[in-house]
Structure 1
Amino acid sequence: MSLSPRFIALILALLIAGLTITFLAFVPGTNGNMLFVVGTSSFLLSFFLVLYTIDILVYREITKLYDAIRKLKVRDFSISRKSILKTGNPFKKLNDEIFVYVARKQKEIDELKKMEQFRREFLADVSHELKTPIFAAQGFIHTLIDGAVDDEFVRDKFLAKAARSLDGLDALVQDLVALSQLETGELKMHFDRLDIRQIIDEIFEQLESLANARQTTLKIKTTYLGPVWVKADRQRITQVMTNLIQNAIKYGNENGKVVVSLEEDGKKHIQVTVKDDGPGIPPEHLSRIFERFYRVEKSRSKEQGGTGLGLAIVKHILNAHKTKITVTSRLEKGTEFRFKLDKEG
């Protein structure tokens, strides 16, 4: 028979009752009825007292401790410290304290593992991204050194390619520095009252040649007849809008349309939306597009240019504006980025 609480209580109760009867049997004047009553009473009292002590105070808490260990194995950390303070049971307190402590340490371990994995991926991505323009420029320059410099046509062509590679390297380093400063809080925002509509018009002018090359129509959609005043950092919001609009042009369909909407969201915010009618982003990629160097289609992204840091920078700039960017996308229907800015009257 297994050592269940009832079995242990039964054995101990029989022993206590037996010892009690044996002791009373040597007392003068004790008859059989008295021994029966005392024996039965001591047995029942001992049985229930021992059963309660073992089952409630020990076995149940040990079972809970086992369940806590099982939960930790499957990463189920559903327990609050308030429940520990409400109980007076020392076994339960010990059980819950162990669970909370181990859960906290397990979370720390998981976080460290994620950070380690992130660090490895980041170093691999940075190494790859730096290697490409460096090797390209190096190849062109060494070709010139080996004698191609005497050919004027080849010299000009290779120097132009080397310059483009170095320009790409410079852009990558600048984006890495900006992203690092944004993440550490070193890059401070300078909030001013600005007309977001004017900024968008200026970006449309800057990207006009790119839009014409892809025969893409650029349009602002808003109910405001005049300026749309918001409170933001002009340089950084310009960077955000340039990145989103440029991506919409690059990765949208040719002969497509990019629409930037400015809508009032309550009394305190302006909602900014950048929408294209391109091929869309597959659902499995949506949660990762704001990661550094993450590309949905790596080969196509390389052809289109860019450092792979644009959306990561956008996310951090908007976080510094106390707002978040969201993205929705439907295949063959297009992609839509949306965020809010504080309205400035």
Structure 2
Amino acid sequence: MKFRVLILINAGAVAVTMAAVNYYFQRNMYDMAITFAATLVTSFIVFYYLIEKYIYSKIILIYKLIHNLKLGRDLRDALGEHTSADPINDVEKEVKEWARQKKTEIDALKTQEKFRRDFLSNISHEFKTPLFAIQGYIEAVQDDDLEDKVMARQFLDKASKNVDRLSYLIKDLDEISKLESGELPINYTKFKINDLIKEVMDGLELKAKQHNIKLSFKQKYDEPTMVTADRDKITQVLVNLLDNSFKYGKEDGTTSVTLFDLHDTVLIEVTDDGIGIEEKYLPRLFERFFRTDASRSRQIGGSGLGLAIVKHIIEAHQQTINVRSTEGLGSTFGFTLQKIKQGLPFVALPILKS
């Protein structure tokens, strides 16, 4: 409702009341009309002055403050001062909208704070485990004064393995930090995804045999499929997913890579027949340091950042990654890549930063 209309209604109510009182005592229609008109004008002027001075001006100030804060100083100066025809209603809308935004921001900050605490706790634990192990092995060798050379060699080898684990952890942390900040660019090239999959599987064949796992490559069509992506980073994605399937696969099991040629994209799936993952853990699987079975995961090794890195690389390509799993039956990780249609020129996709 407009400001002046609101004042007029209040003034009219007072004028009607005064006119009715006048008619009750005087019983004169002319006096009643004069009283009504005089009271209406007087009330309108008084109400307008009082509301304008003590209420309306304050509301205008609040509205401009909220409006300018939302726009920002630079944008406000570019647009000029904004004056609303109905600031009372606008203030109500602005305040409600601002309250919703602030609640969303507060919820996001709480979530980020919880993530920060969990992350610091996880990284502290991940660093302490190998550091304490290294410290223990070195102290044992120092106490023995190298008298038992066989034991000393064994302890130094174990200390060396923990140093390697720390190196992997620091390297993965540095990489995921650069991926999040956009410091690691995506260098798009065109290549045959079929050939890359075979190349990665050949390179991991010995490791698969060490885990007694058979590798299998399936594709819907035998023709080579051209994609546009960062070949080195997609190699890292495949290595991480295959290595993950070795760690959690079953003895004498199978890990298969399946290629699906879709309309504009290619879907690559890595499937194992291992222990699987409980459904409640699936939404958190790509979080840093998240482990479904912490004790077994640390015995297996790894930095706990492999799947988080995989997710960041795929999302940096503006593509999607998903997982489906059944406990006791196995897991399937699938991701998409942009396909190049035969006969069309190659155009590198732009890199978008959030």
Would the TM-score normalized by the shorter structure come out above 0.5? yes
Distance 1:138 1:16, change over 3 A: same
Q: Which moved more, 1:125-134 or 1:144-153?
A: 144-153
Counterpart for residue 181 of structure 1: 178
Q: Letter of the 1:193 partner, please give it.
A: K
Matched, 1:260 2:257: yes
Matched, 1:139 2:121: no
Displacement of 1:216 after TM fit? Answer: 1.7
Displacement of 1:196 after TM fit? Answer: 2.0
Cα contact 1:148–1:154 (8 A) shared by 2: no
For 1:43-77, what per-residue CA distance to the aligned partner results, in whole angstroms no more than 9, with x for missing partners? Answer: xxx9xxxxxxxxxxxxxxxxxxxxxxxxxxxxxxx
Q: Distance in 2 between matches of 1:22 and 1:127?
A: 82
For structure 1, the residue ranges without an aligned partner over 5 or more in a row are 1-8, 47-86
State which of 252, 261, 273 in structure 2 corresponds to 1:277: 273
Q: Distance in 1 between matches of 2:116 and 2:25?
A: 81
Counterpart for residue 236 of structure 1: 233
State which of 318, 338, 344 in structure 2 corresponds to 1:342: 338
Q: Distance in 1 between matches of 2:283 and 2:224?
A: 34
Cα contact 2:225–2:261 (8 A) shared by 1: no
Counterpart for residue 94 of structure 1: 91
For 1:195-252, what per-residue CA distance to the aligned partner results, in whole angstroms no more than 9, with x for missing partners? Answer: 2222222322332233223322211111332533221112111110011111112212
Q: Distance in 2 between matches of 1:143 and 1:106?
A: 55
For structure 2, the residue ranges without an aligned partner over 5 or more in a row are 1-8, 41-83, 343-354
Counterpart for residue 76 of structure 2: none
Counterpart for residue 81 of structure 2: none
Distance 1:17 1:291, change over 3 A: same
Task: Report 1:150-229 matches (<5 A).
Answer: 150-229=147-226
Counterpart for residue 18 of structure 2: 19
How many residues are treated as equivalent by the alignment?
283
Q: Letter of the 1:323 partner, please give it.
A: Q
Q: Secondary structure at the match of 1:108?
A: helix
Counterpart for residue 69 of structure 1: none
Displacement of 1:187 after TM fit? Answer: 0.7
Q: Secondary structure at the match of 2:302?
A: coil
Q: Secondary structure at the match of 1:221?
A: strand
Counterpart for residue 300 of structure 1: 296
Q: Distance in 2 between matches of 1:184 and 1:22?
A: 76
Q: Secondary structure at the match of 2:215?
A: strand
Cα contact 2:319–2:337 (8 A) shared by 1: yes
Counterpart for residue 61 of structure 2: none
Distance 1:88 1:259, change over 3 A: farther
For 1:231-278, what per-residue CA distance to the aligned partner results, in whole angstroms no more than 9, with x for missing partners? Answer: 111211111001111111221222222111111110x21111111122
Q: Distance in 1 between matches of 2:230 and 2:17?
A: 87
Q: Secondary structure at the match of 1:139?
A: helix
Q: Distance in 2 between matches of 1:161 and 1:209?
A: 23
Q: Secondary structure at the match of 1:246?
A: helix
Distance 1:89 1:154, change over 3 A: same
Q: Letter of the 2:226 partner, please give it.
A: W
Matched, 1:309 2:305: yes
- The TM-score, its normalising length taken from structure 1, stands at 0.75
Supply the RMSD in Å over aligned alpha carbons.
2.7
Q: Distance in 1 between matches of 2:168 and 2:288?
A: 15
Q: Distance in 1 between matches of 2:88 and 2:324?
A: 50
Displacement of 1:115 after TM fit? Answer: 1.7
Counterpart for residue 54 of structure 2: none
